[in-house]
Amino acid sequence: MSGTNATSQRHINDRSLTRASHDRPTAVISWLAGPVWLAVALLTWRWPDADDFPNTSLLAALFAFIGVILLAATTTGFLKKRAPWALAIGIFLGGWEVAQAKLLKLPRPFFGTPQDLLDVFITDWSRLGNSLLHSLGLLAVGYLVGSVSGIAIGIGLGRSPRFRYWVHPLLRAIGPLPPVALLPLAFVLVPSSFLAGEALMILASAFPVAVLTWSGIASVDPAYYDVARTMGASRSFLTFRVALPAAMPQIFVGLFMGLGASFAMLVVAEMLGVKAGLGFYMQWAQGWAAYPNMYAALIVMSLMCTGLITLLFKVRDRILIWQKDGLKW
């Protein structure tokens, strides 16, 4: 008995040892992140620019501010897991600043300097913000209408043979077609480019949602229906309180795919017809060779897309809380 105790004691010690040795570099990195940002700030401020770039001292102040925040976060113990990333971003920004703003090593005008990017956000934030709102509006309407109709079509396909008879061939004919292919037609048929963009986004998101809702409903264990039926369940109970919740995991796969498809459709619609939004902004920036603006729009768009995907996963985690395990975004 005492023997096994001793062994387990040693195991625990081993584990805590490995944990400590694993913790040490993280702790060092954590203490390194703030000073590196401060050093980058000093470099930016003191090393003269190679050309006339705007906002150099403001950028230096921003770096210094972030450095101070990181230091504070380290002392209060907030910065642990993310410390390596904070350090890496600091080194990347410092390297970029030195390579371009101080030494002009990258081809211009495709590569701007960090100050150019900062300048875009300072001078053009209202247009960027408006573009973001416009894109979000276009996306929200198209995606929501598309998803809801996709779920409705999927339920119809899964639960009603007559609906399936008429709609399945249509789905097979239209669904696999990339919505982009309908773009020229849509801009001719639909009176406004905004509505045409919406129509295509609805198409893009409805198809995967419909197919996966249907597949989810088709694979529901028939015993679930038997259980509910022996208790006197109506058809609508079987559809909405048995089939639909059972199909939820698949429906969320469809919603995820549909969201990706609507992102693509959003950018294409905004680049080719809709005269507003982030896609339009990027198109415009590229036309004027305003590359920093293009990068800025790209950053905003990336934040928007990842934010929306995160939101979708949060909703999924809420609704599918009953699942044993799931992918964490």
The residue ranges that bind another protein (CB under 8 A) are 221, 223-224, 226-234, 237, 241-242, 245-246, 248, 322-324
Render 255-303 in DSSP notation, one character per residue: HHHHHHHHHHHHHHHHHHT-SSSHHHHHHHHHHTT-HHHHHHHHHHHHH
C-alpha pair distances (Å), 221 with each of 215, 217, 227, 242, 246: 12, 9, 10, 10, 9
Report the alpha-carbon distance of residue 240 to residue 232 in Å, rounded. 15
Q: How far is the CB of 219 from another protein (least distance, A)?
A: 13
Query: Which of 192/323 has CB closer to another protein?
Result: 323
Q: How far is the CB of 243 from another protein (least distance, A)?
A: 11
Q: How far is the CB of 159 from another protein (least distance, A)?
A: 17
Query: Which of 141/248 has CB closer to another protein?
Result: 248
Backbone phi and psi for residue 61, each to the nearest 5 degrees, phi listed first: -65, -40
C-alpha pair distances (Å), 154 with each of 185, 235, 260: 26, 16, 19
Report the alpha-carbon distance of residue 147 to residue 5 in Å, rounded. 58
Q: How far is the CB of 224 from another protein (least distance, A)?
A: 6
Q: How far is the CB of 231 from another protein (least distance, A)?
A: 4
Q: Which residues are CB-neighbours of 166 under 8 A, at least 6 positions away?
A: none
Query: Which of 137/249 has CB closer to another protein?
Result: 249
Query: Which of 45/225 has CB closer to another protein?
Result: 225
Query: Which of 129/326 has CB closer to another protein?
Result: 326
